[in-house]
Amino acid sequence: MLKKRYLFLGIVFLILAYMFIEPYWIETKQITIESNQIPAEFDGKKIVFLTDIHASPSFSQERVDSVVSQVNALNPDLILLGGDYIDGDNQYISSTFESLSKLKAPLGVYAVLGNKDPQYETLDAIPQYGITYIGNKGTWIEENGSRIRLGGVGDYNNGMQIQSATTSVVTPQDFVILLTHNPDYFPEVNKSKVDLVFSGHTHGGQVTFFGLWAPTTHSDYGNDYRTGVITENNSTLIVSNGLGTTILPVRFFARPQIIVVELKKK
């Protein structure tokens, strides 16, 4: 009986220790998106998506710098930032964006806000550090005379979502990417026009039952949009586990992620 008790305590200790280790074990998740709407000039282009850094005492500027170095080593063509750069404390805004300003991508670095970002201070910092804000805005990404459409919307909980800023000028032949912090916006996406959606917010559940289910996802849809690649009506949603943590600096079978998407023309 005593041996069983010690075994149980040992297993509990190992699980708790692992929960504090996993937040540092970043996964680089590779995804290929194929479409006949992708122009030949964008075939093979690499998009890196970062979200939910939650800079705080448990996610230091040194850790942000390390992520930036990992991303730059991937040689991305385009970088998208999905919000929640800090965990609500304004003092981390400048240092976080100072690190993010070192991101390098020939087609640009674009960002939207998350629900934890102080709106006015973050909106000031984004352009100050050379990043382009695309909340409720759309822009054309051009390469050798061809182009794809990129846009974003405001945070689903704390902002407005003006999707038409992205979609009003596109044709069925255009490849369209939309950036939204919260995947709960996906049901409202115009799937006849938007081909690819990036989001975060859920942290992959942060603490899960061995990656199969999470008791908390911060989503009205439970585990439906918790993590991974979801396709509905010819539109694809990619939900990242994000990088940081909230409430407690722990993860369990929801590793932090750098999402790498390669575009492939069918």
On average, the pLDDT of the chain sits at 95
Q: What mean pLDDT is predicted for residues 89-96?
A: 94
Q: What would the CATH number be for the domain defined by 1-265?
A: 3.60.21.10
Residue 182 has pLDDT above 70, yes or no: yes
Task: Write down the domain spans for the chain.
Answer: 1-265
Structural contact between residues 263 and 33, judged by C-beta atoms closer than 8 angstroms? yes
β pairing state of 235-239 and 196-199:
parallel
Q: Which secondary structure element, helix H or strand E, spans residue 76, and what is its range?
A: none
How sure is the predictor about 253, in pLDDT bands with cuts at 50, 70 and 90? Answer: very high
CA distances to 154, 164, 181 from 170, in Å:
20, 10, 22
CA distances to 40, 150, 152, 201 from 144, in Å:
10, 17, 24, 35
Residue 200 has pLDDT above 80, yes or no: yes
Q: What mean pLDDT is predicted for residues 150-176?
A: 95
Q: What is the pLDDT of residue 6?
A: 67
pTM, to two decimals: 0.96
Q: Rounded CA gap, 180 and 159, in Å?
A: 11
Residue 8 has pLDDT above 70, yes or no: no
Structural contact between residues 115 and 84, judged by C-beta atoms closer than 8 angstroms? yes
**Does 222 or 2 have the greater pLDDT score?**
222
Q: What mean pLDDT is predicted for residues 45-55?
A: 98
